Every structure is written in C-alpha cells, then in structure tokens.
Amino acid sequence: DYVANPVGPVRRAGGPGGEFPAGGSGPFDAASQYQSDYIPKAGGPAQRTVLPHEAPTGGAFAGESTYVADYPAKEAARAAPLGPGDFKRAATPLQSAPFDAATTYVTDYPPKAADRTVRTVPEPQPLAGGSFVAETTYGTDYLPNEAARTLPAAPRPTEREHLPFDGATTYHVDYPPKQGAPAARSVQPAPERSSTPFDG
C-alpha cells in the first residue's frame, strides 16, 4: 500500500529564517536596458511628397461618376402591365395579298436546269481464250539460283585419351565430406494409455 512520506512545512525563500531583506529608501529606477541603450532620435515623421496630379483642385465636388456622365437616364413612360383583356384580335382586317413563301434559300439558290444523269451499263467483255498460266510475279521476277547444295562437313574423328575422368567439382573440392559416425536416432517410448473411461 501507499505510505505517505513525512514532509515538513514549506519555507519561504529568503534569509536563514525565511525573511526577505528590507528594501532601500531610495527611488525605484524604472529604466530598462532598452531605454538606457537606445536613445530616441530627435526627428518628426517623414512628409509624403504630393504628386502634381494628386494635388486638390480647390473646386466643388461634382459627384458624377464616369457611369453617370456617359450613360444619362432616359426619359420614358413606364409601361403598364398587360391584362387578359389586352390580348384581343386586331380590329384591322388582314391583307388579301397572296403569301410569298419564297425563303432565303430558294431565292439565293435557284434550281439548276440540267439533264438527269443516266446510269450506264458497261458492255460485256469476252473472256480471253487459252489455258490459264499460274505464274505469279514472285515466280517470274525472282528466279531460283542454280547452285549445288552445300552439305554440312562431318567432324573428323578424334582419338580419345584413355585417362580417368576427373569428376571433382568446385563443391566437392571446397566442401570435403566429414568423417564421423552417424548419429543414433532417438526413439521415444509410446505413452501408456489410461484404462479410465472417457467422460465426455
């Protein structure tokens, strides 16, 4: 379990008895390092130079913007909203002149007077007589070269040297077999079976 450690009362920092030394009777020097090292420079704020086109004209403000000066308001009467009774057939009779149904396409592109194209049927050509020559362009232009067939040269028999075959590979040279008796195989005895019936 948790055991509380004995701790004494906290004493204030200061002298041996915890008291602070008495303050001096002189005035408090509130001058910081910034105020003592950085003396303020004598000078006023910089005056902004006024450009000629920024100088005031001295006249009265007209209050007109570019939009008001260029686009004056139009004097027009306000249109009255139309009601259901305003949509009536005009009292003036329609003109009795015939309707001219000529469109721009008909006016600009008049039909051309030309004869109708007649489909022509080619005359039958008689077939050429004689036997069919089954020669292609390849067989006519690329004639085979008459040359004797080159037979492969048989290798000359070489005499074999009756020497023993050195079958030592790099593995057999670098890793010789270790000489040692084979390790005996440990056979664990079979566990004895309990004769107690299984209680499932």
Task: Choose between 63 and 25: higher pLDDT.
Answer: 63
pTM comes to 0.14
Calculate the average pLDDT of the chain.
Answer: 76
Q: Residue 31's closest CA among 43, 39, 42, 21?
A: 39
3-state helix, strand and coil shares in percent for the chain, rounded to the nearest 5: 15, 0, 85
pLDDT in tens, 153-174: 887 777 766 777 777 788 888 8
Structure-model confidence comparison of residues 115 and 86, the more confident one: 115
Q: Is the pLDDT of residue 129 over 70?
A: yes
pLDDT at 139 over 60: yes
What would the two tokens of residue 18 be? 């915890």
Question: Nearest-CA neighbor of 168 among 155, 159, 177?
Answer: 177
Rounded Cα–Cα distance for residues 124 and 140 (Å):
31
Q: Which residue is associated with the tokens 């040269």?
A: 153
